[in-house]
């Protein structure tokens, strides 16, 4: 049974049982405390916790998930994968334990011919929470399971909660017995390798508080509405139904593994280490592809870093299989073809996905070359220093800064006969993970506070009137101060105010929040920010300027009209620039982010090379031609499917409901899904002036522009500058560029002559410096203050020349000077001096400490500096003493 068929049977079954079929949410989670949708229940958290009223009583879905906390186990077990699909059915205050058990058992044990999954009841076991007598009895009553196949486990295994105060409850897990070949008998309590969990039924019935750990919390009451939250692992069911050994061999994953086998020329199933690598590749390629399809792009932080790590682990695994060249074209294509039936967007969006994948591969292959060079140098320094161990911080720097995998560092170092201080490396990694966990925990605490909005959200969605009105009368539904509900906010306080209606736009879709005020009888509030803390609810962060505002008080929102008008110009200009980019570069130049505020727009798009000056001019010209043509701007509310059918562009990573707002500028030329505010015709934009274009990642570019009056002011300022230059240089405007180029060439020529004079002047000082050398106990020491110097490079040049003159001696050269009001010191050693124990790096650290700074370098030459120019003499004396003690 194909994986897609299993998913369809699941949805069909629950549709027949009166469930609303809900499409998968994005892998990019709305919850700011987590990077990804890590479980099937994540998109339903607002409904399960009661923050947002559920739009249906029961639902079912196939949810895409990404989980990387067990990334090191991928490929080593049958069930660990970073990307997986969770089948779920949900009840929001409707059915509970008995019906949940009945429906789960029915789907599992109904024959394939009758639309079920065809599991034999004899192969299924269940676990229940240790004190949940009701669930244990229902499994016997509803499913006819014998008592010996119903096992009771503790809270660690069979009690679910989010880790925060709120809804929780016992759960019941269904296991499949894979048979004696996979382990010992005795049920999941004895062996969870043989007995594989396939479905978890959560009975959300309790309200908990004082959560101290997974198993330590207080149950403080029952929920008024009991919910059902279930999750069945699609990949786990698939590898059982397809009679293969693990999830990497199912129909949606195995083709990538087979392609890696083909590219490497190695066999699968012959070498345990190679098999793990093949499975890692199969898993990570699929995960990376699905993240790209949901708008995540490679970067060095957050979601982008996880994506980059998956891709780089894939490249590393292929390298360990003997393949050093590019492979992503073949691997990602194989994954696309295996997944396209379940996710057609992979076909329609393939050009963008492929561009990012190949761009990241090209970048990392270059990184491997650069990292190898840095590592080779570090190994060489370690050997020359007489050590056979590469320091942990150096290995960590390669890993953290350059993205150079630690296992590759270990491999190359071992080949060179050098070990790595793995304990120090692991300590640095642990410290980094601890910081990351603390940061995540901090964000998680913040999201827990969203429950304060549940009472307000239960009253309905906030009505936004700002598309047509700049003033709206309403009433105060709620007030929060420091995250807590209050009944009044007084002058001088910062508060959140929630209204039934508002004309103020909440930040979203790249458009910043409106500026404005909220006024009422006896109070005035300055609006600092407007946000949507939970779906459907708008919250205004305000400063109470005068009076005091109370619950139920009549209040009027007043939008700053000039600021709104300028923001609308910028947002509409962004749509025009997007259309112009697609006209110029092609349909793969899709939007990956934007920012619109009064007078300014920023637009990020998928592209992996800089735009030429001609291309930027063409984009600017197309945009302003559209402004001049006074194109009509229209908006329509329609279903998401109808909008997509009409060709509307959607922003990757944005969340869209079943009903969307489509914005046309000039008909289909610019047609996008957008909830922002816009001008009514393109001429209202006024002017768009492109001020910059740059890279924001391996496959992302950013174009920036000023809009309206801000664009005019910028051009006026440039015109004034041109007038000033023509007057100053006494050159006509059309000859100005040539005149400046001539002056620049003359300046460079003069600088070269000056540099030559300075170089000769420096060289003239070498004999005197050599003659200044002192000898002590077989050491030759030059330690001189050069006074004011042009730069540290001048000092290095002198040190190098003096050392050459003394190369046959056991010599140390230490020269210092003042460059840019700061002291600089350079120390060099001859080979004979190094053999006798003198290390330039150690000596320069001593001197830099005296100067009030730091420094370092190699044993033969090192540089340092500090802040105290008056300590140069003492620093040189410290070097001399250290050499004498060597």
Annotated binding site for Zn(2+): 571, 575, 674, 678
Tokens describing residue 355: 């561009």
Cα 146 to chain centroid, rounded: 48
Q: How far apart are CA 836 and CA 210, in angstroms?
A: 65
- CA angle centred on 24, ends 21 and 26, rounded to 5°: 155
- Asked if 237 and 1 touch (Cβ cutoff 8 Å), the reply is no
| Beta-carbon-side half-sphere exposure of residue 310 (alpha carbons within 13 Å) | 33
Return the CA Rg of the chain: 34
Q: List, as residue ranges, the binding site.
A: 571, 575, 674, 678
Q: How far apart are CA 622 and CA 339, in angstroms?
A: 38
User: In 10 A of CB 144, how many CB atoms?
Assistant: 10
Q: How far apart are CA 592 and CA 578, in angstroms?
A: 11
Q: How far apart are CA 121 and CA 146, in angstroms?
A: 10
- Closest listed residue to residue 416, CA positions, set 385, 375, 386: 375
Q: How far apart are CA 641 and CA 622, in angstroms?
A: 30
User: In 10 A of CB 443, how many CB atoms?
Assistant: 15
User: In 10 A of CB 213, how many CB atoms?
Assistant: 9
Q: How far apart are CA 25 and CA 44, in angstroms?
A: 10
- Asked if 620 and 691 touch (Cβ cutoff 8 Å), the reply is no
DSSP structure string for 236-277 = HHHHHHTT-SSGGGSTTTHHHHHHHHHHHTPPTTS-HHHHHH
Tokens describing residue 258: 């087979």
Q: How far apart are CA 864 and CA 847, in angstroms?
A: 8
- Asked if 705 and 711 touch (Cβ cutoff 8 Å), the reply is yes
- Closest listed residue to residue 398, CA positions, set 419, 372, 363: 372
Q: Which residues contact 793 (CB under 8 A, 6 or more apart)?
A: none
Tokens describing residue 121: 């009841």
- Asked if 610 and 701 touch (Cβ cutoff 8 Å), the reply is yes
DSSP structure string for 833-869 = HHHTT--HHHHHHHHHHHHTS-EEE-SSEEEEE-S-G
- Asked if 370 and 291 touch (Cβ cutoff 8 Å), the reply is no
Return the residue matching tokens 């999954």: 117
Tokens describing residue 244: 């293969």
User: In 10 A of CB 218, how many CB atoms?
Assistant: 13
Number of H helices, E strands in the chain: 25, 35
Q: β-strand 218-233 against 83-92: which pairing, if any?
A: antiparallel
> Residue 160 class from Cβ within 10 Å (0-12 exposed, 13-18 middle, 19+ buried)?
buried
The count of residues in the chain is 886
Q: β-strand 159-161 against 58-66: which pairing, if any?
A: unpaired
Q: How far apart are CA 699 and CA 710, in angstroms?
A: 30
Of the chain, the end-to-end C-alpha distance in Å amounts to 76
> Residue 660 class from Cβ within 10 Å (0-12 exposed, 13-18 middle, 19+ buried)?
buried
């Amino acid at each position: 049974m194909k994986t897609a068929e299993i998913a369809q049977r699941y949805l069909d079954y629950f549709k027949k049982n009166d469930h609303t079929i809900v499409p998968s949410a994005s892998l990019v989670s709305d919850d700011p405390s987590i990077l990804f949708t890590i479980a099937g229940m994540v998109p339903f958290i607002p409904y399960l916790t009661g923050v947002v009223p559920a739009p249906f009583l029961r639902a079912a879905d196939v949810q895409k998930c990404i989980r990387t906390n067990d990334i090191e186990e991928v490929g080593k077990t049958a069930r660990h994968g970073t990307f997986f699909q969770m089948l779920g059915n949900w009840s929001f205050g409707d059915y509970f334990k008995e019906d949940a058990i009945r429906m789960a058992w029915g789907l599992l044990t109904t024959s394939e011919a009758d639309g079920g999954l065809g599991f034999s009841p004899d192969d299924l076991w269940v676990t229940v929470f240790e004190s949940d007598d009701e669930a244990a009895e229902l499994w016997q009553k509803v499913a006819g399971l014998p008592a010996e196949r119903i096992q009771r486990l503790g809270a660690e295994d069979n009690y679910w909660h989010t880790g925060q105060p709120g809804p929780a409850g016992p759960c019941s897990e269904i296991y499949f017995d894979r048979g004696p070949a996979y382990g010992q008998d005795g049920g999941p309590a004895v062996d969870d390798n043989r007995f594989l969990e396939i479905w978890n039924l959560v009975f959300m019935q309790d309200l908990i508080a004082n959560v101290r750990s997974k198993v330590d919390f207080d149950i403080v009451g029952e929920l008024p509405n009991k919910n059902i939250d279930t999750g069945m692992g699609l990949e786990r069911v698939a590898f059982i139904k397809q009679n293969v050994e693990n999830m990497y061999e199912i129909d949606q994953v195995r083709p990538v593994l087979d392609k890696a086998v083909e590219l490497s020329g190695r066999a699968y199933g012959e070498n345990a280490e190679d098999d793990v690598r093949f499975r890692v590749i199969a898993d990570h390629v699929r995960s990376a592809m699905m993240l790209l399809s949901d708008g995540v792009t490679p970067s060095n932080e957050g979601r982008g870093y996880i994506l980059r790590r998956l891709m780089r682990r894939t490249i590393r695994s292929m390298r360990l299989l003997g393949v050093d060249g590019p492979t992503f074209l073949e691997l990602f294509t194989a994954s696309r073809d295996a997944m396209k039936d379940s996710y057609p967007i992979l076909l329609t969006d393939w050009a963008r996905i492929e561009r990012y994948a190949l761009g990241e591969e090209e970048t990392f292959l270059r990184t491997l070359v650069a990292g190898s060079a840095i590592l080779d140098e570090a190994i060489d320094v370690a050997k020359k220093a007489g050590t056979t161990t590469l320091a942990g911080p150096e290995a960590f720097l390669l890993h953290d800064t350059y993205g150079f995998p630690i296992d590759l560092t270990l491999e190359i170092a071992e080949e060179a006969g050098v070990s790595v201080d793995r304990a120090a490396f692991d300590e640095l990694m642990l410290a980094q993970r601890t910081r990351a966990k603390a940061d995540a925990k901090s964000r998680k605490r913040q999201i827990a506070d969203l429950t304060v909005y549940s009472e307000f959200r239960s009253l309905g969605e906030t009505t936004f009137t700002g598309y047509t009105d700049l003033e709206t009368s309403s009433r105060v539904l709620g007030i929060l101060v420091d995250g807590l509900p209050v009944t009044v906010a007084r002058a001088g306080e910062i508060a959140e105010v929630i209204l039934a209606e508002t004309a103020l736009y909440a930040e979203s879709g790249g458009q910043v929040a409106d500026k404005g005020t909220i006024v009422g009888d006896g109070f005035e509030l300055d609006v600092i920010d407007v946000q949507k803390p939970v779906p459907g609810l708008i919250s205004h962060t305000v400063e109470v300027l005068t009076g005091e505002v109370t619950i139920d008080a009549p209040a009027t929102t007043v939008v700053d009209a000039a600021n709104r008008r300028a923001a609308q110009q910028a947002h509409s200009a962004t749509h025009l620039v997007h259309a112009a980019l697609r006209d110029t570069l092609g349909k793969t130049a899709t939007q990956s982010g934007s920012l619109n505020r009064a007078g300014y727009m920023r637009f990020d798009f998928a592209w992996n090379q800089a735009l030429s000056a001609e291309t930027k001019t063409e984009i600017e010209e197309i945009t302003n031609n559209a402004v001049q043509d006074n194109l009509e701007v229209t908006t329509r509310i329609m279903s998401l499917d109808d909008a997509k059918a009409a060709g509307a562009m959607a922003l990757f990573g944005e969340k869209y409901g079943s009903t969307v707002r489509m914005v046309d500028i000039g008909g289909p030329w610019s047609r996008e899904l957008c909830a922002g505010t816009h001008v009514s015709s393109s001429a209202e934009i006024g002017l768009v002036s492109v001020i910059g274009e740059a890279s924001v990642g391996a496959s992302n570019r950013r174009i920036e522009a000023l809009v309206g009056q801000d664009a005019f002011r910028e051009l006026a300022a440039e015109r004034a500058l041109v007038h000033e230059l023509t007057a100053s240089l006494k050159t006509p405007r059309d000859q100005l560029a040539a005149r400046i180029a001539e002056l620049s060439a003359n300046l460079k020529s003069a600088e070269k002559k000056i540099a030559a004079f300075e170089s000769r002047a420096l060289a003239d000082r070498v004999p005197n410096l050599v003659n200044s050398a002192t000898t002590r106990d077989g050491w030759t020491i030059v330690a001189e203050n050069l006074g004011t110097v042009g730069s540290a490079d001048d000092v290095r040049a002198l040190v190098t020349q003096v050392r050459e003159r003394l190369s046959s001696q056991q010599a140390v050269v230490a020269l210092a000077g003042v460059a840019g009001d700061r002291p600089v010191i350079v120390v060099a050693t001859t080979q004979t001096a190094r053999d006798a124990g003198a290390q330039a790096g150690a000596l320069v650290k001593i001197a830099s400490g005296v100067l009030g700074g730091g420094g370092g370098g190699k044993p033969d030459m090192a540089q340092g500096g500090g802040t105290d120019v008056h300590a140069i003499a003492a620093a040189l004396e410290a070097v001399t003493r250290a050499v004498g003690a060597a």
